[in-house]
């Protein structure tokens, strides 16, 4: 089963193709995408890589977390499922403030 990775600390010049090329060193890459600003089209400095298996994803985390790519130090970790970890609503708690 494919496993998605969060890639932080990307250089603004890093492309989708470059991201895919680098992560294939750890295994089969299903997809690679640098997140861009909707209005300007400029990189936001992070992206996601989907590795073919969980084992390849773990190998990629071990190989690339803390390593330099295009002059920047990468932060590589397993991506959290959408909807978890807070976000725009300000926290993961479902308790009422009152």
pLDDT per residue over 15-54, tens digit each?
A: 999 999 999 999 999 999 999 999 999 999 999 999 999 9
Please give the helix or strand (H or E) that residue 50 lies within, else none: strand 43-51
Closest CA relative to residue 7, chosen from 58, 62, 45: 45
Nearest to 24 by CA among 55, 53, 60: 60
Residue 95 pLDDT: 56
The dotted CATH code for 3-78 is 3.30.70.330
Residues 76 and 1: their CA atoms lie apart, in Å, by 19
């Amino acid at each position: 089963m494919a496993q998605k990775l969060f890639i932080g600390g990307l250089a603004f010049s890093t492309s989708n193709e470059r991201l895919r090329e680098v992560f294939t060193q750890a295994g089969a890459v299903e997809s690679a995408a640098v997140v861009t600003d909707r209005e300007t089209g400029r990189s936001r400095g992070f992206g996601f890589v989907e590795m073919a298996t969980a084992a390849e994803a773990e190998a990629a985390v071990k190989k690339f977390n803390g390593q330099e790519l295009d002059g920047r130090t990468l932060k590589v970790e397993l991506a959290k499922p959408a909807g978890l970890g807070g976000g725009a609503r300000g926290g993961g708690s479902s308790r009422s403030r009152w």
